[in-house]
Amino acid sequence: MLNTLITRFYLFLLVGLYACQPAFAQSNNEWMSNKASAFLQARVNNTIHWQAWSEAAFAQARREQKPLFVSIGHQRCSWCEAMNKGAFADMETGAYMNAHFINILVDSDMHRDISRAIESFYQEAKGLSGFPMNMWMTPEGIPFVTRFFLDTKAQSSHESLLSVARGINKEWKNNAHIINTKAQALKVFLEKKRAEKQKQIFPVTAKTIEDYQNRLGRRYLSGQQLDIDNLAYVDPATLYFLLNSNDEGALLALTILAKLSNSALYDHLEGGFFKAALDTNWLKPVFEKDLITQSLLADVYITAWQNSAHEPFRHIAESTINFVLKELASGSGGYYAGFKEKEDNAAAGFYVWNVKRLHAALPHPIDRDLAKQRYGFVVNHASDFSSLHVRRSLESLSKIFTLSPVEIKRQMGDINQALLTHRRSDPAPTLIREIHPLGNALFLRTLAKAGETLQSKTYRDIAETLAEKLTRTDTPVHPLNQRQYAALISGLLATYSANGQQKWLLKADDLMEQQITRLWDPDQGCFNDYEDALWLLTCNFDDGHTIAASSLNLENLFILHHEYNNSSYLRYAMTLGANAIDSAEGQLKQIPYALMLYAPLLKSGQRISLITHKGAHWQAR
């Protein structure tokens, strides 16, 4: 029984950090219609009164002493859609859920950090995972009941949401004190176990990282695994790590980036990247182009060009940045969140091609033949659809069509323009007209790096304009949490590096001091977004498909220490670094960006050794 409780509580340890999103204010589900999430928008008319995963929701649960009901799904999940049209649309079920629970709805695509943590909990608690994930938690955030799909009415193979909810409410009303007593006993046990664990030493040596790096790229080259939501993502943090490791690691990264630039994840007509694919070869994209993905991948390609001088990488970086500047500019100095798939999948029709559409765009047979050879079109029948991906190089086309390389390049340029012009004549995907602080801060980082590395005054000037906007205290994109702080500080440091203006270094320093004052938790040894913190919080270093705030903050602290020779920044960095290794516990794949920062120390034969306890420290020996 104790092991079961420990397993259930494991989720809380992982996901507690994220109960710090903006407070839910509306009295109905209208708040979801304004979110950049087709999943949430499709559930605005649910009979259940949903709230966002937020400190406000947890505080309400504690105040009213009601359990929380948390449902996590995504737009491509058929069972999630069945619950949307079934149990979540049922009047009786909605009335009961609203009366007895605080209900939270999470889009896995929008909050992958929460989704990953809950996936880990389900796998440990139930031995399997999948969507939808439905769970009940105590007001203190401890899960005590988990389910997957729940029907409107009980069937032979499925329970109903209403019947399960009634049973849980009855148990809570009659035995809440017993559940809470067990939860408190579990808390004491876990605190003791954690104290014992913090006495352990986890050494990370140069060989440890080399062995990890030698295995890392193979999952991209031999076919990576789909994530829990059946999507294949690109991990920028992993690519940064490989590019900054030894020659073998860098070669792996360059090979992966070459494959990516030829895949259907890259928009060969307009530039920019789709955020994920439905297959491990990246040939069936999810047709959403968001600002964060553009920022991180453009930055990776800049680093790749810097390391290799391979001009196609520079072209990919520039075309991705230019896509953002042209298509996502808000007109007020910031950049919109991106383009998303419509609920009816209209975006897919915008980006894919069939026989009729290809003939309309390219009326001349020779142009169609060139396009088919270049992009691997398989559109022989009216029912065939194809996404653009590079099948043959321009050199191969030159040989096949007996044309000079210059002529092939010119013709393919004309063909691409004709395809793009035709595509733009169709209804475009939905533009998400939200200016997100995190995406804009990461784009600032990329712009400034591009300005410096590519020696582009245009990019440097645009970066400075964006930096001015993001550091105005009256702007809605001023940082509110550690992810936004970390990204903005990183962007300002990159701007300082690009143009040498001291004011950007001073602003980065001011923001770091502000973040430390507001968010540093000395007991946990990390930044903590809570003001009213739940107990036993853990630091999150999992880079996932982005770069963790803790990893960026670690980099920022090292840079600021170097610039100011500030020993307090070094102490914070050492503590944060110790916790990074501690959080990995041998699973180095969780923290590739942090490991990249350690690599220079280890190349000289030094050893990073962790001694974890309250006031943990980081040592290089």
pLDDT digits (tens, 9 = 90+) for 300-322: 999 999 999 999 999 999 999 99
pLDDT band at 213 (very low <50, low <70, confident <90, very high): low
Question: What's the distance, Cα to Cα, between the start and end of the chain in Å?
Answer: 43
Here the tokens at position 525 are 């040894």
What are the Cα distances from residue 366, in Å, to 95, 352, 401, 417?
63, 20, 10, 16
Amino acid, single-letter form, for residue 391: R
The pLDDT of residue 409 is above 60: yes
Collect all residues with Cβ–Cβ distance below 8 Å to 585 and sequence separation of at least 6: 202
Here the tokens at position 118 are 């809950």
Spatial distance between the Cα atoms of 15 and 522, rounded to a whole number of angstroms? 20
Instruction: Report, as an integer, the average pLDDT of 232-257.
Output: 83
pLDDT, greater one: 435 or 383: 435
Side-chain half-sphere exposure of 196, counting CA atoms within 13 A? 6
The mean-pLDDT minimum among 118-132, 193-207, 392-406 falls in: 193-207
pLDDT band at 432 (very low <50, low <70, confident <90, very high): confident
pLDDT at site 613: 30
Counting every residue, how long is the chain? 621
Q: Write the pLDDT tens digit of every residue in 198-209.
A: 444 445 566 666
pLDDT at site 17: 34
Given the structure tokens 């609920």, which residue do they identify?
343
The mean-pLDDT minimum among 179-188, 276-285, 514-523 falls in: 179-188
Indicate the SS3 state at residue 346. helix
Q: What is the DSSP letter of 278?
A: S
Instruction: Report, as an integer, the average pLDDT of 184-188.
Output: 66
The pLDDT of residue 18 is above 50: no
The pLDDT of residue 169 is above 60: yes
What are the Cα distances from residue 298, in Å, to 77, 254, 264, 324, 445?
30, 14, 16, 10, 10
Instruction: Report, as an integer, the average pLDDT of 571-588.
Output: 67
Spatial distance between the Cα atoms of 542 and 57, rounded to a whole number of angstroms? 25
Q: Write the pLDDT tens digit of every residue in 345-370.
A: 445 678 888 888 889 999 999 999 99
pLDDT at site 9: 38
The mean-pLDDT minimum among 2-11, 331-340, 380-389 falls in: 2-11
Nearest-5° Cα angle at 128, 126 to 129 = 110
Here the tokens at position 12 are 């809380």
- CA 41, distance to chain mean position in Å, is 20
pLDDT band at 614 (very low <50, low <70, confident <90, very high): very low
Q: Which of 126, 144, 147, 146 is nearest to 181 (CA)?
A: 144
Spatial distance between the Cα atoms of 581 and 593, rounded to a whole number of angstroms? 12
Mean pLDDT of the chain: 79
The pLDDT of residue 549 is above 90: no
**H-type alpha helices, 454-500:** 457-470, 482-499
pLDDT at site 404: 93
Q: Classify residue 363 by burial, with Cβ atoms within 10 Å: 0-12, 13-18, 19+.
A: exposed
pLDDT band at 487 (very low <50, low <70, confident <90, very high): very high
pLDDT at site 410: 95
- Neighbour order of strands in the sheet with 617-620: 201-204, 608-611, 617-620
pLDDT at site 2: 41
Q: Which of 228, 284, 282, 225 is nearest to 259 (CA)?
A: 282
The pLDDT of residue 155 is above 80: no
The answer to whether 509 touches 564, Cβ cutoff 8 Å, is yes
The answer to whether 384 touches 378, Cβ cutoff 8 Å, is yes
